[in-house]
Structure 1
Amino acid sequence: MSTETAFSYHLTRTLDAPVSRVWQAWTTPDRYARWSYAAPGSVEQDVRPGGAWKATMVTPDGGQFPLTGSYLEVEENRRLVVGMDVPGKDAQTAMTVELDEDGPRTRIALHQTCDTVEERDMAEQGSTMLLDSLTAFLAEGAGA
């Protein structure tokens, strides 16, 4: 079994929003904070290749932890590769977000390869929560 297969996840979902609205939800700090479990006012995004981002995430029990990283690839309304700084690791962990327009809807795909099965399972759980929250955010007409 290859490392790619063993420690990767792929999630897809079809969202009831046009691709431009989904893109703005991922790349506009105030919109991103509203659905991504980020503390209000903690999100900063310089959405361009090499641009930095940061956010303080809030856990369901009220704990907070800061995240930082950079954008590795940016294709507006199409693809975002987000590098995440991981303490103790030299290289960033990359998560790919791909958007495909499907009429008035958007097909979103998230992909990430991790170093261990435990990291993959945690990342997949977190990404599933993000997609659930993004789906709800878009359904309530937020970010229009």
Structure 2
Amino acid sequence: MINNPALKSAGAILLSVLVALLLLSAIEGISAVLHPFPADFDQTYESMAQHVANYPAWVLFLLGGIGWGLTALAASFLATRFGARRHPAHGMAIGILLVAAAAFNISMLPYPNWFVLVDVVLLPLGVYLGVILARAGTTASSS
């Protein structure tokens, strides 16, 4: 058991970042199976933009929307649950990182407007629910 609050917080953040990276890597791997790169893919921005523009809507919704939202929920839950005193700042910090990563990705590639809206709703919702669920059972005096 870690008694130092700073070490406990750092460990919680590190754990949640690792879990988020694992989940996002799995999402990308599944995405590559469901919507593979063409054989002549040349790894240029133009080729990537074309690939993203051709994503089936259901793949974007399932993996990019729901998958990223559930990743935000899991990572913010872990950060809050294992952070010092289950403080919500741990989960919010991870949430900010994930929202920033999604915003950067969305700003660089031609995703449809509906997908941007889905991410704007589901990522913060996932973070919020993760923090709330992790704090369940705590009292005002222990938080």
What's the TM-score once normalised by structure 2's chain length?
Answer: 0.34
| More helix as a share of residues | 2
Asked which structure has the greater CA Rg, the reply is 2
| More strand as a share of residues | 1
Structure with the larger RCO, 1 or 2 (CA within 8 Å, 6+ apart):
2
